[in-house]
Amino acid sequence: MTVPPARRLVLRADGAARGNPGPAAIGVVLVDAAAPGAMAPDAEALATISEALGRTTNNVAEYTAVLRGLELARELGAREVDLLLDSQLVVEQLLGRWRVRDPKLVPLWTATRRALAGFERWSARHVRRAENRAADALANAALDRVARGGPASVVRRPE
């Protein structure tokens, strides 16, 4: 069965680092915005990413999560994307309200803005951490999985 591409996706992304810097990972949840309850924290995922990054900072992981999520959204055919992130830093920097001062983040910010420009429309909104628990769980699952010797990356796409 082939799932038709969703025109608009809700993207919840989270980065996690155990130590800062430390072992880091990302979690991404993509939801079809047309699905009932798409904006709810527990909305049914269309696709997910759970990926360990190695040793880096939390902010690098946050940006990497958004960037990987945008890449998957584009792959799935999305033309519009709504970012719901618990990183106020990333949201404010992407919206241009805060400057990007950390040299490690400049290339990630540039790549993310370039990826966003490929969509017809996008938005970014800061949400409480509790509203982003599915993405957070995927990031932590990646860290735990790698610690047990499992694969660094697990991506689930629609069938």
Within a domain: 158: no
Q: What is the pLDDT of residues 107-116, one digit of tens each?
A: 999 999 999 9
Peptide bond into 21 cis (omega under 30): yes
Domain count across the chain: 1
**Using an 8 Å Cβ cutoff, are 74 and 120 in contact?**
no
pLDDT of the residue at 5: 65
Within a domain: 89: yes
Q: What is the pLDDT of residues 7-19, one digit of tens each?
A: 999 999 999 999 9
Q: What is the pLDDT of residues 43-89, one digit of tens each?
A: 999 999 999 999 999 999 999 999 999 999 999 999 999 999 999 99
- pTM listed for this prediction: 0.95
* pLDDT of 3 above 60: no
pLDDT of the residue at 152: 98
**Using an 8 Å Cβ cutoff, are 43 and 87 in contact?**
no
Within a domain: 53: yes
Within a domain: 154: no
SS3 of 69-93: HHHHHHHCCCCEEEEEECCHHHHHH
**Whole-number percent of the chain with pLDDT over 70:** 96
Give the other-Cβ count within 10 Å of 42's Cβ. Answer: 10
Within a domain: 77: yes
Packing angle, helices 106-117 and 58-75, rounded to 10: 20
* pLDDT of 32 above 60: yes
Within a domain: 2: no
Within a domain: 104: yes
Within a domain: 129: yes
Provide the residue range defining the domain that includes 128: 8-147
CATH number at residue 94: 3.30.420.10
pLDDT band, residue 2 (cuts 50/70/90) = very low
